[in-house]
């Protein structure tokens, strides 16, 4: 890669990717709403609001690929989600089309399918069942990526990220946990494979508890190496759920499925 754009660089995932992909591209262009003051010699800084179409058009110019982690990353008000995740994603794809960018990683979410029950194993063709306004915005982003692939040939990996933390924070994350190293190895495969298409990829490590099947995207060649099993005996994960029908337990979206409407 000559120049790759990384949006959302100040967020949890953005910080991980920035560090672990240092030197992978000739130049990494960093973007976020927040100011970035510690750029290295191989980094460019171009902060902007994703809802600002002209700013996003300048942001994408000259880039070979995009790792799009920017926007609102949790449930929020509709207006906040609208600007960052819906208008912002549209602006990014329009800029990619006009500047000839042909490959994008779109950070989608497991919350696009959060209202499926835990015992239902999902694959790339499973029906979307969002558990939140945030989840709806990621469904929109996935469908926008599909349109821009079919109409304009822009390849996108629609990556439904599980729970990318240093360790699982609760029992649910024993299934959804994604290690930083596995995420970065997935990013590399997405940009290094000869042909990508527009696949849905579930981003979880090789955990013992599996809700998601990536067999339909095995042509990419990604094999996660880590597993949440090394945390399974931690005391904080031992307490079993009291009520198996609690929406936070029943559904794959966990607390997103059980939470009230954000606007209330």
Among residues 90, 93, 134, 251, which one is catalytic?
Answer: 134
Name every residue whose Cβ is closer than 8 Å to that of residue 117 and which is 6 or more positions away in sequence.
250, 251, 252
Cα–Cα dist 122/116, whole Å:
9
Question: Is the distance from CB of 101 to CB of 60 less than 8 angstroms?
Answer: yes
How would you class 102 by CB atoms within 10 Å of its CB: exposed for 0-12, middle for 13-18, buried for 19 or more? Answer: middle
Can you read off the two tokens belonging to residue 112? 């696009």
Q: Give the number of other Cβ atoms within 10 Å of residue 140's Cβ.
A: 19
Cα-Cα-Cα-Cα dihedral sign, residues 244, 247, 253, 258: negative
H or E segment to which residue 144 belongs: helix 133-152
Question: Is the distance from CB of 171 to CB of 132 less than 8 angstroms?
Answer: no
Beta strands in the chain (DSSP E): 3-7, 27-31, 43-45, 65-68, 103-109, 155-161, 200-203
Question: Is the distance from CB of 133 to CB of 262 less than 8 angstroms?
Answer: yes
Cα–Cα dist 72/93, whole Å:
17
Q: Is 236 an annotated catalytic residue?
A: no
- Give the dihedral of Cα atoms 136, 137, 143, 145; nearest 10 deg: -160
Active site residues: 134
């Amino acid at each position: 890669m000559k120049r790759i754009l990384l949006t959302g660089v100040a967020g949890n995932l953005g910080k991980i990717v920035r560090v672990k992909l240092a030197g992978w591209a000739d130049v990494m262009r960093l973007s976020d709403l927040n100011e970035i003051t510690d750029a290295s010699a191989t980094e460019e800084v171009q902060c902007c609001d994703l809802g600002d179409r002209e700013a996003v058009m300048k942001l994408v110019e000259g880039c070979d690929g995009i790792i799009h982690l920017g926007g609102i990353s949790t449930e929020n008000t509709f207006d906040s989600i609208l600007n960052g995740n819906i208008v912002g994603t549209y602006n990014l794809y329009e800029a990619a089309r006009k500047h000839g960018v042909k490959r994008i990683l779109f950070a989608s979410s497991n919350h696009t399918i959060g209202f499926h029950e835990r015992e239902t194993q999902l694959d790339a063709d499973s029906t979307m069942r969002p558990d939140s306004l945030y989840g709806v915005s990621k469904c929109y982003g996935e469908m926008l990526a599909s349109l821009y692939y079919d109409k304009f040939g822009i390849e996108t990996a629609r990556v439904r990220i599980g729970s990318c933390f240093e360790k699982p924070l609760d029992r649910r994350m024993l299934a959804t946990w994604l290690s930083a190293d596995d995420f970065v190895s997935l990013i590399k495969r997405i940009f290094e494979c000869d042909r990508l298409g527009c696949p849905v990829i579930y981003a979880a490590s090789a955990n013992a508890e599996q809700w998601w099947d990536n067999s339909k995207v095995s042509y990419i060649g990604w094999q996660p190496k880590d597993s949440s099993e090394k945390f399974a005996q931690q005391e904080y994960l031992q307490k079993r759920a009291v009520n198996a029908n609690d929406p936070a337990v029943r559904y794959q979206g966990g607390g997103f499925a059980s939470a009230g409407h954000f606007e209330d």
